[in-house]
Structure 1
Amino acid sequence: MEKKKMTRGTKKLVEDAISQLEPSKKNNTNAICEKMVEMLVDRFDGANLDYQLKRMDLETTGRIIEKIDEYFQKHPNLLFEETDSQELATT
């Protein structure tokens, strides 16, 4: 399958999902995936959900995880940002 470029909507969805998680889960790919699915199901329904998932290339859990990984590859500073600030607060 041809790899599609991440859409602005997908990037925003990943960012929104991360922002809604508690700090200890912001780097957890599975927690982000679960939050993204929850947000998509709440936002779209039926055929519209299927259309949006296909358009954003998020039709499977595997594809969602790939997009999350791609997001963190492009923004590596965000991967440890929350963890670092938590460690500083406890020292």
Structure 2
Amino acid sequence: MIVSEFKLTRGTKELIKTAIQETKSNNRYVLCEKIADMVETKYSGLNLEYQLERMNLQSTGKILQAIDTYFYKHLKNSDF
């Protein structure tokens, strides 16, 4: 899937923006780890699975793709 075809939910955009602000990093892997920790802390059990599917973040690859899409379409200097 091409980056421009990948859709981000509002929740996914907020997660990525928060991860950028908290880590002060633009490293995809640092952000991926932070996002995974944030989602795991916020949701639990079956709710975690549901939320990951809803936000299309079920795998590391999908989280990285969401980060790439955010950088390509939504990144602002104020995010850092």
Q: For the superposition of Structure 1 and Structure 2, which TM-score range results when normalised by the shorter chain?
A: 0.7 to 0.9
Amino acid at match of 1:29: R
Amino acid at match of 2:14: K
Tell me if structure 1 keeps the 8 A contact 2:6–2:69: no
Q: Quote the RMSD (CA, aligned, Å).
A: 1.9
Does 1 or 2 have the higher relative contact order (CA < 8 Å, sep 6+)?
2
Structure 1: runs of 5 or more not aligned: 83-91
Structure 1 stretches of 4+ with a deviation exceeding 6 A read: none
Tell me if structure 2 keeps the 8 A contact 1:17–1:32: yes
The separation in 1 between residues aligned to 2:53 and 2:20, in whole angstroms, is 22
Tell me if structure 2 keeps the 8 A contact 1:33–1:64: yes
Aligned length: 76
Q: Aligned residues: percent identity?
A: 45
TM-score where L is the length of structure 1: 0.75
The separation in 2 between residues aligned to 1:4 and 1:35, in whole angstroms, is 21
Q: Does 1:48 align with 2:47?
A: yes
TM-score where L is the length of structure 2: 0.85
Larger Cα-atom Rg: 1
* Aligned counterpart, 1:85: none
- Cα deviation, 1:3-24, whole Å, max 9, x if unaligned, reads 6521000000000011110x3x
Tell me if structure 2 keeps the 8 A contact 1:4–1:57: no
